[in-house]
């Protein structure tokens, strides 16, 4: 029994890549994974994002994804030399070869999906003002216009604001919003169906599918794929 992984990231059209993805494998075969999406773009953000992803993945593998994200958040909790520029959102996971579920935690609008062999199901909800408005019945146009307003980020994360869920499928996908906001769900599902046996090919296909909006803007796109295989 083993967990096969794939990671991919692609720079968008705004400056440098503020996303990062990492996986970490323990000696017992347990795998931690993380996707980090930096808030904004700038030299500190793009430099710190890979560090946050590395910390979140390593700690998630050993102590769980909540601990992974909280530990990563401590690195940007003080304004210090990075100022406010290096903040981020993220999603982290752990999958152990002797357990049936993948344990997920997230802060912000990164997402986690599970593929049951037929359907791609989303297991996370975005921590944005737009998502909150939608849940409260606000008109779609109003909610959509507030989707970029984050309610929380890693620098301010606490145990109470890091949400968590168990995903009971053998294939789990973590994405930044540059993937799921710019690729329709049906298209994501079609890519998973096509590449479900090859996590690296799937990760590559997910980030490659992100297209520019009508104004020509394309966000950084990042994915981690975890596949449990007997």
CATH number for 179:
3.60.40.10
* Res 204 pLDDT > 70: yes
Q: How many domains does the chain have?
A: 1
User: How does residue 138 score in pLDDT terms, banded at 50, 70 and 90?
Assistant: very low
SS3 readout for 78-90: CCCCCCCCCCEEE
CA distances from 191 to 18, 21, 201, 203, 228 (A): 24, 19, 10, 9, 18
- Biggest CA–CA distance in the chain, Å, is 50
pLDDT for position 137: 46
* CB distance 6 to 200 below 8 Å: yes
Give the separation between CA 36 and CA 149, rounded to whole angstroms. 17
H or E segment and range at residue 65: helix 65-74
pTM exceeds cut of 0.85: yes
- Structural domain range at position 214: 2-229
Greater confidence (161 vs 117) lies with 117
- Whether 55 shows a pLDDT value over 50: the answer reads yes
Query: 175-185 pLDDT, tens per residue?
Result: 999 999 899 99
The answer to whether the beta carbons of residues 203 and 225 sit under 8 Å apart is yes
Which two structure tokens, joined as six digits, stand for 165? 């869920």
Does residue 81 register a pLDDT over 80? no
The confidence score (pLDDT) of residue 148 equals 59
């Amino acid at each position: 029994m083993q967990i096969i992984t794939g990671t991919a990231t692609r720079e968008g059209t705004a400056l440098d890549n503020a996303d990062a993805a990492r996986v970490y494998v323990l000696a017992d075969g347990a795998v931690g994974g993380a996707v980090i999406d930096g808030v904004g773009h700038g030299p500190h953000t793009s430099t710190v994002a890979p560090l946050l992803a590395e910390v979140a993945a390593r700690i998630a593998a050993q102590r769980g994804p909540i601990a992974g994200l909280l530990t990563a958040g401590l690195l940007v909790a003080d304004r210090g030399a990075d100022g406010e520029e290096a903040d981020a959102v993220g999603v982290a996971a752990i999958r152990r070869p002797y357990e049936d579920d993948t344990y997920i935690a997230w802060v912000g609008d990164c997402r986690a999906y599970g593929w049951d062999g037929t359907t791609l199901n989303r297991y996370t909800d975005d921590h944005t003002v737009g998502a909150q408005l939608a849940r409260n019945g606000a008109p779609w146009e109003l909610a959509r216009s507030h989707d970029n307003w984050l309610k929380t980020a890693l620098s301010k994360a606490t145990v109470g604001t890091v949400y968590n869920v168990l995903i009971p499928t053998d294939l789990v996908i973590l994405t930044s919003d540059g993937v799921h906001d710019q690729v329709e769900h049906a298209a994501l599902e079609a890519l998973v169906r096509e590449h479900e046996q090859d996590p690296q090919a799937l990760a590559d296909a997910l980030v490659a599918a992100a297209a520019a909006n009508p104004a020509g803007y394309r966000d950084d796109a990042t994915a981690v794929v975890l596949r449990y295989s007997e």
